[in-house]
Amino acid sequence: MKTILLGTVAALAIAGTASAADLRMPVKAPPPVVAPVFSWTGCYIGGFVGGAWSADDPTVYDRDGYNVGETWSYKADSSFIGGGTLGCNWQPVGSPFVLGLEGEVGYLSLEGSGYSPFGLEVISSTKVGDWYGMITGRLGYSWDRAMIYVKGGAAFVDVEHSIVDAVLPATVAASVSDTKVTWTVGGGIEWAFDMNWSIKAEYMYIGLNGSETSCGVATVTAPVGTFCWDHDYDGIHTAKIGLNYRFGGGAPLVARY
């Protein structure tokens, strides 16, 4: 009996020691929560609205002395602009830089006209639009969902000029229409308020620094012959706000703990 009691006491002591040891063991912490880091990589489609205005007044030069070599300028109205964009971005893993390629097509219509200051009823008119397009490269620097960027590339703009002698019987009328292929540069800021959606504010300058020549035949009264005028038109400033939808929803770059 004594032996049985001693054995029971010993067993209870060992069990108690083991239980106390179990209570002192640290509890394993749950794994940390993994949060995805936003990425600008992916393709997107978007729309925009804004305004455009001339960098300088259109100017007309009489090349052939139709009215003693006259030259004059006139104002061009500002314009509403609106259209759409389609592009793709690539952000290297672990880098704040974003590389992109973007196409843009939109509406603009800058128009103006003015009579010769010589009072001979010769009127010139200019129209830029009704459409334009751009193909640009984009380089951005991002802070998670915010990004600033610069853009540059090619622009395509429809330009029309005309000149008419409004006094009869002297008749001369000349016009020229051309799609100008030129350059554009600018930049903006973009913020992704959702994994798929972002808004932007952007400024772009379209360079139209050059001239178009229109020629017409004067008849009925002197001078008679073919006469030409140069129409100079400077660049266009544009400012817009836009909304983009990004396919893929900003896939994560790396895990953030």
User: Confidence class of residue 120 from pLDDT cuts 50, 70 and 90?
Assistant: low
Q: Which two three-digit tokens encode residue 170?
A: 């002297």
pLDDT averaged over the chain? 82
Q: Which domains does the chain have, with CATH numbers?
A: 36-256 (2.40.160.20)
What pLDDT shows up at residue 20? Answer: 47
Task: Give percent of the chain above pLDDT 70.
Answer: 77
Lowest-confidence segment of 25-29, 151-155, 243-247 by average pLDDT: 25-29
**b/e per residue 189-218 (b: at least 16 CB within 10 A):** ebebeebebbebebebbbbbeeebebebeb
pLDDT (tens digit per residue) in 55-80: 888 888 888 777 766 888 888 899 99
* Better-scored residue on pLDDT, 83 or 1: 83
What is the C-alpha separation between 78 and 54, in angstroms, rounded?
A: 7
* Better-scored residue on pLDDT, 130 or 68: 130
What pLDDT shows up at residue 31? Answer: 58
This model's pTM is above 0.85: no
Lowest-confidence segment of 119-133, 168-182, 212-226 by average pLDDT: 212-226
What pLDDT shows up at residue 250? Answer: 53
Please compute the mean of the pLDDT values over residues 37-48 and round it to a whole number.
93
**Residue 4, helix vs strand vs coil:** helix
pLDDT for 211 beyond 80: no
Sign of the dihedral through C-alpha 242, 243, 247, 250 = positive
Burial of 90 (0-12, 13-18, 19+ CB in 10 A): middle
User: Confidence class of residue 23 from pLDDT cuts 50, 70 and 90?
Assistant: very low
Please compute the mean of the pLDDT values over residues 152-162 and round it to a whole number.
93
pLDDT (tens digit per residue) in 109-118: 999 988 888 7
What pLDDT shows up at residue 257? Answer: 37
User: Confidence class of residue 230 from pLDDT cuts 50, 70 and 90?
Assistant: confident
3-state helix, strand, coil in the chain (%, to 5): 10, 60, 30
Q: Which two three-digit tokens encode residue 96?
A: 């704040």
For 206-223, give the secondary structure using H, E and C.
ECCCEEEEEEEEEECCCC
DSSP state of 195: S
pLDDT for 103 beyond 80: yes
What pLDDT shows up at residue 72? Answer: 86
What pLDDT shows up at residue 217? Answer: 80
Considering only CA atoms, give the Rg of the chain: 35
